Amino acid sequence: MPYQHRAVDNLELDLPLGKVVCIGRNYAEHARELNNPVPTEPILFIKPATSVVPMEAPFRIPQGKGAVHFETEMAVLIGKPLSNASEQDAMQAIAGIGLGLDMTLREVQDTLKQKGQPWEKSKCFDGACPLSAFLSPASINDLTDVQIRLTVNGEVRQDGNSAQMLTPVLKLLAYASEWFTLEPGDVVLTGTPAGVGPVKPGDQLRVELVDLLRVDTSVEA
């Protein structure tokens, strides 16, 4: 099933699928669990549009390339161009809030990091970015207080809150726009709480913005 930006009522959003801008290590405990230093400013990297698949459908993971880890994130859909934007500009440019999984070939990433090479091989494979439908921004009272949870086969594996972000959402959008333009249809993944780990074919996942949005999905067997 091809990906198309959608609202939670299943209506297609009139926005193209653009790039996915990811924020690395935006939760201190996640940085520590992977033995990474806690950054002093946001770490930016990009997944291509070809990595995006609908979260609601069972999705595939690469085989024979080592462990594939989940990283559950709040996703922000951009509706207006942002370049050198203020936080107020960023707020007005948000077209939707949803969920994303930053799927990662962890052993590949570790090898790339040891060699001082970019992460694309570990982060940008086809299917590396399942995205949910998007809530209206008006559905979120406070972007700095959203609970993000992932359950795998009935066991809670990640359970964090956007209040724990080192750089909050609006500052992230403004910061990213200092380095490159965010365009309508782009998505920003805002970082993952601690608790990341491997999945395997057949695993059942529940991905949540608690009390706001829930997606039940699975890794294709």
How many angstroms separate the Cα of 136 from the Cα of each of 80, 93, 119?
15, 12, 32
Angle at the Cα of 17 from the Cα atoms of 11 and 19, rounded to 5 degrees: 145
CB–CB of 192/32 below 8 Å? Answer: no
For the chain, the structural domain boundaries read: 20-216
Angle at the Cα of 131 from the Cα atoms of 47 and 42, rounded to 5 degrees: 45
| pLDDT reading at 2 higher than 70 | yes
What residues form DSSP beta bridges with 6?
12
CB–CB of 197/70 below 8 Å? Answer: yes
User: Does the domain at residues 20-216 carry the CATH identifier 3.90.850.10?
Assistant: yes
Helices and strands in the chain, H and E counts: 5, 14
Tell me what the mean pLDDT of segment 61-90 comes to.
98
In a 3-state reduction of DSSP, which class is residue 55? coil
- pLDDT 10s digits, 152-181: 999 999 999 999 999 999 999 999 999 999
> For 11, which DSSP code?
P
* DSSP notation for 143-160: TTS-EEEEEETTEEEEEE
Of the pLDDT bands very low, low, confident and very high (cuts 50, 70, 90), residue 31 is low
